[in-house]
Chain A
Amino acid sequence: MTLDLARSLDLLQALLPELVLTTAGMVVLLLTAWRHRTPADLRLAGWVSLAGLAAAGAAAWWLWWNTARAAGAPAMIAVDDFRFVLDWLFLGSAGLTVLVSFDYLERERLLAPEYYVLLLFGTLGMMLMVGGDDLMVVFLGLELMSVSVYVLAGINRHSAAAAEAALKYFLLGAFASGFLLYGIALVYGATATTNLSQIGSQVRSLGLEHSPMLLAGLGLLLVGFGFKVAAVPFHMWAPDVYDGAPTPVTGFMTTAVKAAAFAALVRVLVEAFSAVAAWHGIVWWLAVATMVAGNLIALAQHTVKRMLAYSSIAHAGYLLVAVAAGSAAGSAALVFYLVAYALMTLAAFALLAAKGRDGERDVRIDDLAGLGQRRPWLAGALAICMLSLLGFPGTVGFIGKWYILVAATAAGRLPLAAILVLTSVVSAGYYLPVIMAMYMKPEPFEQAHAGMRLGRLGGVAVAVSVAGLLVLGVRPNRLLDLAKTSGEALHAGPARIVPGAPPSTATAR
């Protein structure tokens, strides 16, 4: 299917997933304005949100199935597999978060159906970020996402920690947006366009590889994105924010938000700055610093949530290795790892939320002692998540790391691959204690785990994620193909088809 984005009807089709999700968001917004008093209203909003996410996913699937591609002059929207696959990731993460939230919100007495509205608009922002073929669209998406997530982080108004987290996130996030915007301005100054592919061709045709203005703009962009993906040394906000936000929101932030930032970063770097060599070295060092610092600081944590927060920084480092590879394989590895990481982290945070009840911030690793005997299923699921985060064979975490290593080796980044491997060994030092506590230490006192409650829907979310972890760990072929085509789509550049040419014959897959 070829879409000429200059025509309104085709543009509407290309934006179908976003439009569907916007409509769903509006509907939920109206609904919550109408009914927002009882837990039943909350559940209703949740179910409508799920339906909206599913509809948007179906729209993205429809475009993907028909191999939709853009034609004509460079437009503001990219239509490629990279966008569709990541759309699914965002929608899926949001869906799992909604499932986990049903029980969590009621238990925490957070009768705020706006929660779901914000979740939907945040997801919409992510889809715009990854779909934007123009720095302005990317920025708009980023702001839409960020503003929604600022509020989500502080949605529990009874918690001082959540308020602190939200404020911190807001201040530093705004700061980062400033960097990003200034970077965009400088890049526009150097190339006279904000369209990604046009920036790319301008850089090449005008020989701007060493233009100071462009390089300064690129640097500022990297700083801005570095904040959003929580790369060291721009990670200072992350542990406190992840720690203070409600746990399902933390899960959403560490997976979908981070995935969106990474996806936008890769698209910008590959499409606009592939000719500029400068960023390779910068990303190389960012990756090293993030892997080393994230893993080492995580070792020193005692509470599970903060440990997972630092572990998420460490994983940002692994993802940066995929970015640093700079090849189609690297982008494919990034997509694969983002999916893998989303599955394992969402499940881990959902389980943590179940354990925490009123204060999941205070769950120390030793508080999980004896869980293996008391709640074998939950402990088993958490153990599998930990092994997957560690990158153990048989789980998708291993295949993901393997893919990144393959990409890094093929791109000649062997030292980077070696650092990834060594820091992974370090990470055993903080993932294994969780398993050790659950299985190898006795329950501290009778009924220590009596209050642990996951809820039926939360259980579904965890079961789906863990099953996904294991199945994809043994049989990743389908997802590998998807990741590969999406990675290649990004590097093939926008394959513009001249309007009027016979439509593409690719239909059935």
Chain B
Amino acid sequence: MYGQWVLTALLAWPVLAALVVLLVPPRWAKHVAFAASLLEFALSVPLWWTFAPNGGIQYVLDLPWIPAWGIRYTVGLDGISLFLVLLATFLVPLSVLGSYSYITTRERGFYALLLVLTSGMIGVFVALDLFLFYVMWEVMLIPMYFIIGVWGGERRLYAAIKFFIYTFLGSLLMLLAILALVYVVGQRTGVYSFSYGHLLAHLGGLGALAYWLFGAFFLAFAIKVPMFPFHTWLPDAHVEAPTAGSVILAAVLLKMGTYGFLRFAMPLFPAVALDPAVQRIIVTLSLIGIVYGGLVAMVQPDFKKLIAYSSVAHLGFVMLGIWALTLQSVQGALLVMINHGISTGALFFLVGMLYERRHSRLIDSFGGIAKVVPLLSAVLTIVSLSSIGLPATNGFVGEFLVLLGVFRSYPLAAVIASAGVIIAAMYLLPALQRVIYNPLDKSTNEKLADLTPREIAVLAPLVACILWIGVYPQPILRRMEPAARQFIQTVRLNAAAFTAVR
């Protein structure tokens, strides 16, 4: 019972809760939303124990939806999507809690959209029907668009429409590619089905079309990741979004892009993915993302923008790890995805808390606040160090695994990427120093309040995760290993099969 319906419940519950949030009195909205998202998290926690690492795709529910077109409602979970779902359900309650004092207008709408967004995110990670995947992919776009556009900062309209148009362009081309893929496979097998399993089992025969289709998928996912040079929407969206929006955007939405590569783009078009020319392009773009993201982050006066560019660099590591196709690198990439969600999420929370106190995000408006707000400074230090990748924090484990794995496939790339780790220290440590150390020379900073219990409740789980994964990542690695192995096998075997046919 739990196994079959849990994913559907995870999808349906936030939407129902959103309706309730819309109906209750405004001052209750945040409490109802918090309770609902906590319940959602509680609903998802048993997945951690009931998940069988070697069980392949689990918790499957498969119902007909639009039979005329071979569209089904198919959801399921494997070792890759498990952690992304958990990450999403884990971060949403924290985001709600973190918005308690940040969001002061139209609260009902905000929290309802946040809950709908939850459904969309989980839907993307569990959909095993390409039509359903596309629908979910688009569904999460609208709440985010509203969250940025209504509750954002000064240039929110510009940021919101940029975010929308970029994503929409990529996803519509992907839609076309999905259609063409289904049509070609259908013509050969006689079964027109959008089912992921069916398409995966009947690959081949695409010829040169495969490059076009891969290109469309690549564009959709690369915009979302975002890979250089498709990243320009990200700083705007992050800077203008309210705290909760930034957190969710960085922690979960960006992962949809990398997840898309893992789940769809590479397994469905293995021959293209293993084409040396394509590999060279993507590895190069990832490296540019790592180095360029870091260098641009270094010169940002705005703390939030700095973190936004650091995301570009971190996601570059993920892409590199995925594309190296070794067990370590893929596992490392998966881990970086989770780590980035936790660390960057925490950083955005902290910047949001500073902003609420000081109404500024400029690094220069702070300085020496460690004396005034010791607790906040301590947390900021831990989180920054984890984002840099200091050993004993989560950041280290993931990036180390990626570098280790990449070194076996692309030694030179591993060397350049290592420089990225150093660059991370070069942009975060000076920023940290200018914010919390240095002399306390601004009188406005002398009366800042330290963390409130509510803020501690938001940050404590994140810090706990940072340390836990940093010290003992084994439970996570164990659960994702078979899925990572499976992914590599699928890509390599299918690619080999195609090359043999040709």
Contacts and interface: CB of A to CB of B under 8 A. Distances in A.
Contacts of A394: 135, 138-139
B146 A406 contact: no
A507 interface: no
A439 B149 contact: yes
Interface in B172-193: 172-173, 175-176, 179-180, 183
B138 A405 contact: no
A399 to B, nearest CB: 8
A387 B142 contact: yes
Interface stretch (A47-55, A133-141, A425-433): A425-433
A440 interface: yes
Interface string A419-443: 0011011001100100010011100
Interface residues of B, number: 28
Which among A417, A425, A481 has the greatest number of chain B C-beta atoms within 10 A?
Answer: A425
A387 B149 CA distance: 16
Interface string B122-153: 00000000000011001100100010011000
B419 interface: no
Measured as residues with beta carbon below 8 angstroms from the partner, the interface class of chain A is 20 to 34
B67 interface: yes
A418 interface: yes
B23 interface: no
B48 interface: no
A425 B175 CA distance: 12
A410 B184 CA distance: 9
A476 B71 CA distance: 12
B142 A440 contact: no
A432 B164 contact: yes
Interface string A45-79: 00000000000000000000000000000000000
Contacts of A428: 161, 164-165, 168
Contact of A418 (B156, B161, B176, B183): B176
A383 B444 CA distance: 43
A202 interface: no
B16 interface: no
Contacts of A429: 161, 165
Contacts of A387: 142
A409 interface: yes
Contacts of A409: 176, 179-180, 183
A432 B175 CA distance: 20
A417 B149 contact: no
A414 interface: yes
A425 B66 contact: no
A440 B175 contact: no
B68 interface: yes
Interface of B: 66-69, 106, 134-135, 138-139, 142, 146, 149-150, 156-157, 160-161, 164-165, 168-169, 172-173, 175-176, 179-180, 183
Nearest 5 pairs between A and B by C-beta?
A393-B135, A440-B149, A421-B172, A393-B138, A425-B169
Given A477-B66, A480-B69, 18 more contacts: A393-B135, A394-B138, A402-B175, A405-B175, A406-B183, A409-B180, A418-B173, A422-B169, A422-B172, A428-B164, A428-B168, A436-B157, A436-B160, A440-B150, A441-B157, A476-B66, A477-B67, A484-B68
